Each structure stands twice: as C-alpha cells, then as structure tokens.
C-alpha cells in the first residue's frame, strides 16, 4: 500500500541554501512548508489490513525563513511534527510546528533572534542602539542616605 497526502497548501519557495551550495537536487528538502493542523484524509493505493492500526510520528525541519531572515543550514529549520495515523484500513495526516522557545521567540519578533547550528542571529538594531545609550548611565546598586544633624 502507498500512503499519499491530499494537500496542496505547502509553499515551495526556492531557498537560498540550494543555490549558494549549487545543489539543486536538495531543493525540496530545504523548502518551507505550511503546517496542517486539521486532520486530512489520504488516498490509499491497495489495501491496509484491518489489524494494522497506530500512529507514526516524524519530526524534521519545516520552516527555513522567519520574516526576511533565512536559515543557512538544513539543521537550523524550525521543527515540524508529522503524524500519520492508520486505523480501519484508512489513513490520515496532520502536522504542526513544534512550539519551542526558539520558534516562539522567532515568530513573535518576525526574525531569527536565536543563533542556530549554521545561522548566527543578528541583534535587533533598535534594541542594540538603546542598550548602548543606556549603558552610558549607571544606576547605583545601593543608595546611602546621609543624615546631617546639628545641634543648636
């Protein structure tokens, strides 16, 4: 039996990874795809015995850019969890991005904010400027109050 997914919502935008290294044969494994959070049915060629049932989970990179930033290495892509479920001779599929701290931070900032295996995150230029400005001012760690008393 062959298991095929009935979904065409994936975006297959060309990634710079394939062209920088001159390897067009790996284009599809470094292309970002959309998650499929709702369960979808599949077409089964042949038959799956009724006694076969279960879930097959797979994890791999699924997103190779955040905002205008692109990851430089296949290991850096944001994790996408895939679930293939077989029951009653039928199969279904769904997928979701792993809600890791890195994925959340990158998504909230619409850019790569944490360095990865082959991608160095650039600091936010506005935040960097403000931090440099504030570093010129130093708040005292302790306040000492001096009381002057005089006798009349």
Locate the domains of the chain by residue range: 27-137
The whole-angstrom separation of Cα 1 and Cα 59 is 22
| Rounded alpha-carbon distances, angstroms, from residue 123 to 51, 57, 58, 114, 143 | 54, 35, 33, 9, 33
pLDDT, tens digit only, all 152 positions of the chain: 444 444 444 444 444 444 545 666 667 777 889 999 999 998 889 999 989 999 999 999 999 989 888 888 878 889 999 999 999 999 999 999 999 999 999 999 999 888 788 888 877 666 666 666 666 666 556 655 555 555 54
pLDDT at 77: 86
According to the model, what pLDDT value does residue 3 have?
A: 43
Calculate the alpha carbon distances from 93 to 7, 42, 97, 102, 124 in Å: 10, 7, 14, 25, 38
In a 10 Å sphere around its CB, with 0-12 CB exposed, 13-18 middle and 19+ buried, how is residue 12 labelled?
exposed
pLDDT at position 54: 97
């Amino acid at each position: 039996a062959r298991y095929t997914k009935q979904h065409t919502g994936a975006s297959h935008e060309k990634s710079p990874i394939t062209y920088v290294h001159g390897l067009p044969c790996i284009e599809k494994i470094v292309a970002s795809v959309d998650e499929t959070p709702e369960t979808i049915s599949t077409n089964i060629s042949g038959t799956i015995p009724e006694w076969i049932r279960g879930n097959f989970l797979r994890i791999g990179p699924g997103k190779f850019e955040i905002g205008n930033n692109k990851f430089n290495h296949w290991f850096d892509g944001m994790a996408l969890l895939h679930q293939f479920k077989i029951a009653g001779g039928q199969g279904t599929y769904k997928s979701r991005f792993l809600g890791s701290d890195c994925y959340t931070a990158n998504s909230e900032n619409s850019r790569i904010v944490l360095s990865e295996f082959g991608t160095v995150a650039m600091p936010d230029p506005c935040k960097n400027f403000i931090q440099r400005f504030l570093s010129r001012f130093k708040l005292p760690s302790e306040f000492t109050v001096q009381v002057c008393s005089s006798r009349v």
